[in-house]
Chains A and B, each alone.
Chain A
């Protein structure tokens, strides 16, 4: 649709800057079911619903898989046999049809697996929108394109979500791969004024063709963000760590180091950086 307005978009966006619906749907009647994607035909289009991390498998499932692969019942041994830490419908060999979804301009190919009744084969039957979107963003940016998104911190630190982080940033067999650039954690209540009580972060990553074994990325912890995070009114306050964090990021990537020194000096005294806010907020 975008490409009707601008043909260049066919090759993907250079940058996605977004604040998608965040939060997770828990169990129980009061949970936010609208934050979950359950539709199998949608889920089937995403690697994240078609991969299972061997370290997260139930004992029973691991035992069955190990038996089939002729490996001992140990995630590491199973991963060695598979050649990756991930199990896909391909490894089950129980699919009847495989459709390849290909976008040569964006440069990826996605397999979708179906059973004999043309029902998609999935390894996750439901996933939060915010998790699906992390992958979706990668599919619509160019190679080297950047994604800057708000995310529920739980996706970044919950033990149960480790497989999501691993699949996005370390798996080598997926059609779209990502390199992490920066994580900026926001204080509790950053979106309190919109009734969202979850702790959030800004995640900055780029689409890459190869997963690097190791690399540096920027991390920051903002305690103040220029408005009162304890009140739904979100009244402006002077204290703001974001200008310094931006200046530190610029300094790290070697751009405008003079900003950093100047900003740090004012931040130490005032816990803000007024001139930098003025400079930064000019949108040309």
Chain B
């Protein structure tokens, strides 16, 4: 009888350990996942962001967690169905202060939280976001996917797929090539898209900056455009070289979202 009790206790102990291990390391038990552990997800997040190269960034201080999550509010044009409603990896970096060698004397005034979303099936980057956590919201939010797709289709900026990593320039490389620290909110996608003179499909970093100093609209009356109509931009970078290819106001936010402005 004692032996049976002991065996049960050992079994319960082992099961408990197994449970704790799963919680602590978010180990995926899905056999179709190639990214099976939080450690692997973290490695991927570091590769895509390039933050390991950034002065002041360390895993000890900035890595918060890596977890499997299901999100339903993604608005990435053309590709949101690949993100929403699925179990994906979400790696969170906290207290990130961007430091760009291209801006040697500037200090990031924001303490940012970066979330890196990864496809557990193939390890592809789905999205990077760094939402604004302050209260002075003077910019409009990302538009809905349908509106965004309608605007982008006219200029052929149609995201076709996510990118298979092959020694691409990192998010940090792109920011350092043409970026700013004076931005409240950042979101980025690494996607395939027609670009350039021949509209060949190339890998690009599509990075949207919200809450920047207002752009200069050309033409008489350009300055009369309200700040919220000018304080965002989407930069498209060649993902191989990290160099800026074009910038655009499209997809534009929905003017109805001015209700969210509180400044």
Q: Do A and B bind each other?
A: no
Residue ranges of B at the interface with A (Cβ–Cβ < 8 Å): none
Which residues of A come within 8 Å of B, CB atoms?
none
